[in-house]
C-alpha cells in the first residue's frame, strides 16, 4: 500500500513542469468596437437620431414645394450676404439647404424614398418595428433611381427645364440626357418599361401569373366573349385548383360515333362534321330503321339531338316479347381530349409544390433583440490564478496518495473547469476515482465530478466548479452560427453550452422523447423554457403545435397568448384553459392525443410511407389527394409536429396512476413516427414516478442536480447528478454518452417579450383541433355510437348552415377550406347538418346533397333549433 506522508515531512518537489493552463487572451480593439456597436444603448441613440433626422428632412422637403421658388433665388444668388431671416422654409436655413439638395441637387421628388428609408431604419433600431431592412433598401433604391430617371426624362421631353423644381433632380436630368443621346426617346421608353418589368418579376413571384390573367381578360373583352367572373379570383386553398375546370370553347374539328345496340347486334355509324359554313346535316331515317320515329341532327359541335318525330304511316301492334332497343353516343374526339388533359395536367406541374407556410405567409419570426444580452456572453471569463492554484492542489493531492501524473490541462467552461489528468503508466484509474472526496476537500469545492476515463481520450477528467460562474444567456446560444445555419434538424433545440463553451444542440425529433428531472430550484423550469424558446425561434406555426400541461398553474401561463399560433387543444376548449392544469382534463387530453396518433397512422398507411417526414414530403409534392376520404372523416393534409410538454407529471401519476401512465406509455412507444414527441419534467425522480415503463420508452434524459445518488441512478442509470452545482448545471444522457451542459438562461420578461411579439403576428382563426375524446361511461345519458346531440350544436352551426344553402354544396372538405377549421370539426358539423335535415348522407368523394333550397325554410329550421 502507498505510504502516507507524515506531518513532519516537507514536500520539496515542485509541481510537474508539464502543467498546461489556457491563457486569457487580450481583448482586441475590434472586439471592443463590435461590443460597442452591438450594445442596445447604441441602437437606441442611433435610432433616435435617425428618426429625428427623417422628420426634419420630411418637413423641409414638403415645405420646399411652397417656399422653394423664393428660397432657390436666395440660395443660388451670387450675393454672398445671405440673411437667415430671409429664408421662408419652415425649417429655416438648414431646411432650405437640405431640401434644395434633396430635390434639385440629387434625386428630385423621389428623394422622399431616402427620408422613408431613414425613418424605417431608425424605428428598427428603436425596436418599434421588426420589418426587413434589406427588403426596404431594395425597394426604395429601385423606386428612388427609376422614378428620378423617368421624371428627368419627362421634364426634358416636355420642355419644363426652367422650373425652380427639378422633378428628377440633377441625377435624373443628367442620366436621362445621357441615355437619350444614345438611344433616343423611343429607346428610352423601352428601357424604362423593361427595367420596370424586371423589377416586378423579381419583387413578385406571381407577376407572370397576373400578366397572363390580364391578357386572358383583354382577349375576352376584344373578342366579346362572356366573362365568368372567375378570372382574377384567388382560391382560399390551393386544393380547390385541383377540381375539374369547365371548358370555355368547343373544338372546331370534331367527329362522333353513333352506336345503336340491341340484343342482336351493335351498329356503329361514323358521323362527320360538315363544317360551320355548310350548316347542320340531317341524317335520314329509313322505314326499316330500329329508331323509326327519331330524326337525329349532328351539329358542328358533334352534339346529337332529336329534332322531330316522323308520323307512323301504319301503326303496328307492339310485341311485348320483342327485344328492347337502346343506344349510346360516344364522342371519340372529346374522349381523346379529356384523356390527354388528364395525362398532361400533373398537380405538381400545374400548382407547384404545396407551401405549408402560405396561409400565414406574413408571419415573422421573433428577433434576437427580444433577448437580454449579457457582458462577455460568448467567451468564458478565465481566472488564470484560480486555474493554476486548482491544478497545483490536484497534483499535490494525487501525489500524496502515490499517484504520479505526466500532465494536466485545464479547459474553462461557463460554470465548470475541466482538468484532464494523464497518469503515469501503471497507475490504475480506479485509484483516482476513489479519491473524489479527498480532491473535493483539497479544492474546497461544493462538488466535483471525476470521469475515469474520458470517452475517446487517454485522460481522467476532473470537473471543478468555477468560483465565479458565468451566465449562459439564451441570446448567445440562439445567435450562434450553429443554431442560425442549422438546416438538417427537424426540431432543433439549442439547450446551452458544454464544458468547452460550445453550443450544445440536439434534435427533439431524433430523441424522440425527453425526461427532465431535478430537485426543486435547480433550473428545471428554465430548461423547459429554453427548449420552448428554441422551437419558437425556429419553427413556423404551421409546422409545430404545442400541448402544455402545468399542474402548478403558473409555469406555462405566459404562453397562453399563443393559442392561435402554436397551441393545440380539444374542441370547445375555453381559451383561458388552453394550458391544462387539472387531472381530469389531462387524462382526456392524453387519450385525445392517442386518437390523434392512431389517425395519423391511418393517413401514413394510406399514403404508403413510414414516417411523418416522408408523408409531408409526399403531400408537398402533390402526391396525396386532400379530398380523398379515409375511414370515417379523415383527409390527407399537411401534418405539423406536436410537442407535448408536461411539467411535474409526478403529480398526475400520484393522483390518477395508470390512467395517466398508460396513454403516456402508448404515446412514447408509437408516436415518434407520426411526429408527436413528449417532454416530461419532474422534481421527484423516484422509482414510483420514473417507472420502468417510462424509462424504457424515453432513452434521452436531462438530469439537473438531484437530492441523492439514488435519484441520479434512477434518472441516468449512473451517479454524478448529485454532484452538480445547480442553477442550470445539468447532465444530458443520450446516444450512450453523458455530456455536462450549462443550460441557457431565459428569464420570464424575455419570454413575455417573445410571446408578445408572436401574438401580434398573423395567426390562425383557432387553435389546432385535437380529436374529441368521450370517456367510457362518463355520463349516464351518453349518446349511442354515430348519433348526434342536437342540444350541443357547434357554435358555427348557423353560419355553416347558411353557407351550405347559399352554395348548395355540403362536402366536409369544402367546409374545412371555407371556414379554415380542422377536418374533425368539419366532419362533426357535417353530421349535425345531416341530423338537422339540411344535407343528405355522405356519398364519399361526391359530397352531400343539400336538402334545403331557400333561406326562409332554413331560418325557420334554425329558429326551431334555437340557434
Whether 228 shows a pLDDT value over 60: the answer reads no
* pLDDT computed for residue 332 by the predictor: 42
Q: Which of 115, 117, 177, 182 is nearest to 149 (CA)?
A: 177
More confident residue, 317 or 40: 40
pLDDT for residue 779: 44
User: Averaged over 790-813, what is the pLDDT?
Assistant: 85
Cell 433604391 sits on residue = 141
pLDDT at 598 over 90: yes
* Cα 122 to Cα 142: distance, rounded to the nearest angstrom: 20
Query: By percentage, how much of the chain surpasses pLDDT 90?
Result: 30
Contact call for residues 405 and 431 (beta carbons, < 8 A) = no
Place of cell 353530421: 831
Q: Are 640 and 822 in contact (CB under 8 A)?
A: no
The reported pLDDT for the residue numbered 537 is 96
Identify the pLDDT of residue 303. Answer: 43
Distances (CA, A) of 240 to 55, 618, 622, 818: 48, 18, 13, 11
Query: What are the E-state strand segments in 101-204?
Result: none
Note the pLDDT tens digit of each residue in 354-385. Answer: 999 999 999 999 999 999 988 777 677 778 88
- β-pairing verdict for 737-743 and 729-734: antiparallel
Distance in angstroms (rounded) separating the CA atoms of residues 390 and 387: 5
Residues 6+ away with beta carbon under 8 Å from 713? 719
Q: What is the mean pLDDT of residues 566-592?
A: 90
pLDDT confidence of residue 842: 78
Task: Give the Cβ contact number of residue 476 at 10 Å.
Answer: 25
Could you check whether the bond before residue 453 is cis, i.e. omega within 30 degrees of 0? yes
Which residues make beta-bridge pairs with 738? 733
pLDDT recorded at residue 105: 82
Pick the residue with more confidence: 841 or 84? 841
Nearest to 71 by CA among 55, 93, 56: 93
Instruction: Please tell me the least confidently modeled range out of 21-35, 234-248, 580-594.
Output: 234-248
Share of the chain above pLDDT 70, in %: 78
H helix intervals, 709-811: 709-716, 748-759, 797-807
- CB neighbourhood size of 509 (10 A): 19
Burial grade of 215 (CB within 10 A; 0-12, 13-18, 19 or more): exposed
Statement: residue 522 has pLDDT above 80 = yes
Q: What is the mean pLDDT of residues 799-821?
A: 85
In which band, very low, low, confident or very high, does the pLDDT at 859 lie, cut at 50, 70 and 90?
confident
What's the mean pLDDT in 618-628?
Answer: 91
For the segment 42-56, the average pLDDT, to the nearest whole number, is: 90
Question: Cβ of 863: how many Cβ atoms within 10 Å?
Answer: 9
In 729-773, beta strands by DSSP E: 729-734, 737-743, 768-769
333 pLDDT tier (thresholds 50, 70, 90): very low
What digits encode the pLDDT tens for the residues 686-739?
888 888 888 888 999 999 999 999 999 999 988 889 989 888 999 999 877 889
793-826 as b/e: b if 16+ CB within 10 A? bbebbeebbebbbeeebbbbbbbbbbbebbbbbb
Mean pLDDT of the chain: 79
pLDDT of residue 454: 85
Q: How confident is the model at residue 273 (pLDDT cuts 50, 70, 90)?
A: very low
Query: In the chain, what's the furthest Cα-to-Cα distance?
Result: 146
Angle of CA points 381, 386, 388, to nearest 5°: 115
For residues 473-502, give the mean pLDDT. Answer: 92
Element (H, E) at 596: helix 583-607
* 133-142: long-range pairs with CB below 8 Å, 24+: 139/203, 140/113, 140/114, 140/116, 141/113, 142/199
Task: Name the 3-class secondary structure at 748.
Answer: helix
pLDDT of residue 263: 39
Cα atoms in the 13 Å half-sphere on the side-chain side of 229: 0
C-alpha cell at 445: 469545492
pLDDT at 269: 43
pLDDT at 278 over 90: no
* Torsion 649-654-655-660 (CA) sign: positive
Edge-first strand listing for the sheet containing 281-283: 281-283, 295-298, 304-308
Q: What is the mean pLDDT of residues 73-99?
A: 74
Q: Specify the pLDDT at position 159.
A: 65
Which of 145-159, 276-290, 521-535 is modeled with the greatest confidence? 521-535
pLDDT digits (tens, 9 = 90+) for 632-653: 788 999 999 999 999 988 888 8
**Burial, 554: exposed, middle or buried (Cβ in 10 Å; 0-12, 13-18, 19+)?**
exposed
3-state secondary structure of 407: strand
DSSP state of 690: S
**Residue 543 has what pLDDT?**
95
Which positions ≥6 away from 271 have C-beta within 8 Å? 255, 256, 257, 258, 281, 283, 298, 302, 304
Cell of 271: 358521323
pLDDT tens string 736-754: 788 999 999 999 999 999 9
Q: Is 8 a residue whose pLDDT tops 80?
A: no
Q: Please say if the pLDDT value at position 265 is more than 80.
A: no
Average pLDDT of span 761-766: 90
**pLDDT confidence band for 336 (50 / 70 / 90):** very low
Q: Which residue has the higher pLDDT, 218 or 415?
A: 415
Q: Which has more confidence, 85 or 612? A: 612
Q: Is 158 exposed, middle or buried (0-12, 13-18, 19+ CB in 10 A)?
A: exposed
For the chain, the C-alpha Rg in angstroms (whole number) is 39
Contacts of 450 (CB under 8 A, 6+ apart): 432, 433, 436, 439, 460, 461, 462, 463
Residues in the chain: 867
Amino acid at each position: 500500500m502507498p505510504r502516507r506522508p507524515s506531518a513532519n515531512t516537507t514536500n520539496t518537489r515542485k509541481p510537474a513542469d508539464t502543467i498546461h493552463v489556457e491563457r486569457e487572451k487580450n481583448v482586441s480593439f475590434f472586439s471592443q468596437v463590435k461590443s460597442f456597436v452591438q450594445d442596445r444603448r447604441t441602437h437606441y441613440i442611433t435610432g433616435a437620431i435617425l428618426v429625428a433626422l427623417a422628420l426634419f428632412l420630411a418637413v423641409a422637403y414638403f415645405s420646399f414645394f411652397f417656399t422653394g421658388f423664393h428660397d432657390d433665388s436666395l440660395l443660388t444668388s451670387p450675393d454672398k450676404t445671405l440673411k437667415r431671416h430671409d429664408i421662408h422654409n419652415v425649417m429655416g436655413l438648414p431646411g432650405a439647404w437640405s431640401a434644395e439638395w434633396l430635390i434639385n441637387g440629387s434625386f428630385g421628388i423621389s428623394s422622399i424614398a431616402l427620408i422613408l428609408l431613414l425613418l424605417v431604419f431608425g424605428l428598427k433600431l428603436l425596436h418599434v418595428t421588426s420589418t426587413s431592412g434589406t427588403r426596404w433598401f431594395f425597394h426604395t433604391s429601385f423606386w428612388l433611381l427609376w422614378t428620378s430617371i423617368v421624371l428627368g426624362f419627362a421634364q426634358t421631353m416636355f420642355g419644363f427645364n426652367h422650373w425652380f423644381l427639378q422633378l428628377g433632380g440633377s441625377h435624373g436630368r443628367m442620366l436621362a440626357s445621357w441615355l437619350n443621346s444614345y438611344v433616343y426617346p423611343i429607346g428610352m421608353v423601352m428601357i424604362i418599361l423593361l427595367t420596370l418589368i424586371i423589377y416586378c418579376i423579381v419583387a413578385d413571384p406571381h407577376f407572370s401569373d397576373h400578366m397572363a390573367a390580364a391578357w386572358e381578360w383583354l382577349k375576352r373583352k376584344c373578342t366579346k366573349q362572356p366573362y365568368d367572373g372567375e378570372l382574377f379570383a384567388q382560391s382560399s386553398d390551393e386544393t380547390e385548383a385541383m377540381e375539374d375546370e369547365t371548358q370555355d370553347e368547343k373544338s372546331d374539328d370534331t367527329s362522333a360515333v353513333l352506336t345503336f345496340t340491341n340484343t342482336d347486334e351493335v351498329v356503329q355509324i361514323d358521323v362527320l362534321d360538315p363544317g360551320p359554313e355548310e350548316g347542320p346535316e340531317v341524317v335520314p331515317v329509313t322505314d326499316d330503321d330500329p329508331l323509326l320515329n327519331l330524326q337525329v341532327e349532328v351539329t358542328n359541335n358533334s352534339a346529337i339531338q332529336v329534332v322531330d318525330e316522323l308520323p307512323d304511316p301504319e301503326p303496328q301492334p307492339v310485341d311485348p316479347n320483342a327485344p328492347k332497343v337502346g343506344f349510346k353516343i360516344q364522342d371519340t374526339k372529346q374522349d381523346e381530349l379529356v384523356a390527354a388533359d388528364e395525362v398532361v395536367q400533373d398537380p405538381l406541374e400545374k400548382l407547384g409544390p404545396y407551401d405549408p407556410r402560405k396561409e400565414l405567409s406574413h408571419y415573422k419570426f421573433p428577433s434576437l433583440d427580444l433577448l437580454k444580452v449579457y457582458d462577455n456572453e460568448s467567451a468564458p471569463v478565465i481566472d488564470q490564478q484560480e486555474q493554476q492554484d486548482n491544478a497545483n492542489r490536484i497534483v499535490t493531492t494525487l501525489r500524496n496518495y502515490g499517484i504520479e501524473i505526466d500532465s494536466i490541462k485545464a479547459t474553462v467552461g461557463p460554470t465548470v473547469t475541466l482538468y484532464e489528468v494523464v497518469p503515469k503508466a501503471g497507475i490504475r484509474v480506479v485509484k483516482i476515482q476513489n479519491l473524489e472526496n479527498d480532491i473535493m476537500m483539497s479544492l474546497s469545492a461544493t462538488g466535483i465530478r471525476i470521469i475515469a476515463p474520458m470517452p475517446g481520450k487517454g485522460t481522467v477528467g476532473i470537473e471543478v466548479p468555477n468560483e465565479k460562474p458565468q451566465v449562459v444567456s439564451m441570446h448567445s446560444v440562439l445567435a450562434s452560427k450553429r443554431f442560425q445555419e442549422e438546416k438538417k434538424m427537424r426540431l432543433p433545440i439549442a439547450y446551452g453550452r458544454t464544458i468547452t463553451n460550445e453550443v450544445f444542440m440536439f434534435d427533439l425529433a431524433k430523441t424522440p422523447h425527453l425526461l427532465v428531472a431535478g430537485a426543486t430550484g435547480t433550473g428545471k423550469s428554465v430548461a423547459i423554457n429554453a427548449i420552448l424558446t428554441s422551437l419558437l425561434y425556429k419553427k413556423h406555426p404551421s409546422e409545430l403545435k404545442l400541448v402544455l400541461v402545468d399542474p402548478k398553474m403558473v409555469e406555462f401561463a405566459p404562453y397562453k397568448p399563443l393559442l392561435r399560433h402554436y397551441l393545440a387543444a380539444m374542441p370547445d376548449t375555453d381559451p383561458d384553459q388552453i394550458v391544462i392544469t387539472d387531472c381530469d382534463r389531462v387524462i382526456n387530453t392524453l387519450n385525445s392525443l392517442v386518437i390523434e396518433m392512431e389517425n395519423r397512422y391511418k393517413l401514413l398507411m394510406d399514403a404508403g410511407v413510414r414516417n411523418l417526414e416522408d408523408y409531408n414530403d409526399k403531400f408537398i409534392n402533390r402526391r396525396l389527394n386532400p379530398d380523398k376520404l379515409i375511414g370515417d372523416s379523415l383527409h390527407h393534409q399537411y401534418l405539423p409536429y406536436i410537442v407535448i410538454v408536461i411539467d411535474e407529471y409526478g403529480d398526475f401519476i400520484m393522483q390518477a396512476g395508470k390512467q395517466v401512465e398508460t396513454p403516456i406509455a402508448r404515446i412514447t412507444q408509437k408516436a415518434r413516427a407520426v411526429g408527436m414527441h413528449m417532454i416530461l419534467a419532474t422534481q421527484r425522480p423516484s422509482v414510483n414516478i420514473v417507472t420502468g415503463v417510462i424509462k424504457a420508452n424515453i432513452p434521452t434524459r436531462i438530469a439537473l442536480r438531484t437530492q441523492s445518488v439514488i435519484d441520479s441512478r434512477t434518472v441516468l442509470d449512473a451517479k454524478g447528478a448529485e454532484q452538480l452545482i445547480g442553477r442550470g448545471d445539468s447532465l444530458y444522457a443520450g446516444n450512450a454518452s453523458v455530456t455536462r451542459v450549462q443550460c441557457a438562461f431565459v428569464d420570464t420578461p424575455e419570454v413575455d417579450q417573445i410571446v408578445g411579439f408572436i401574438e401580434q403576428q398573423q395567426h390562425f382563426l383557432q387553435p389546432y383541433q385535437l380529436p374529441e375524446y368521450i370517456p367510457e361511461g362518463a355520463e349516464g345519458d351518453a349518446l349511442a355510437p354515430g348519433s348526434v346531440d342536437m342540444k350541443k350544436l357547434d357554435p358555427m352551426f348557423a353560419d355553416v348552415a347558411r353557407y351550405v344553402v347559399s352554395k348548395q354544396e355540403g362536402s366536409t372538405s369544402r367546409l374545412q377550406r371555407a371556414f379554415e377549421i380542422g377536418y374533425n370539426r368539419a366532419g362533426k358539423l357535417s353530421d349535425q347538418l345531416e341530423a338537422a335535415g339540411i344535407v343528405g348522407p355522405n356519398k364519399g368523394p361526391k359530397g352531400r346533397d343539400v336538402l334545403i333550397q331557400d333561406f326562409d325554410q332554413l331560418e325557420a329550421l334554425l329558429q326551431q333549433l334555437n340557434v
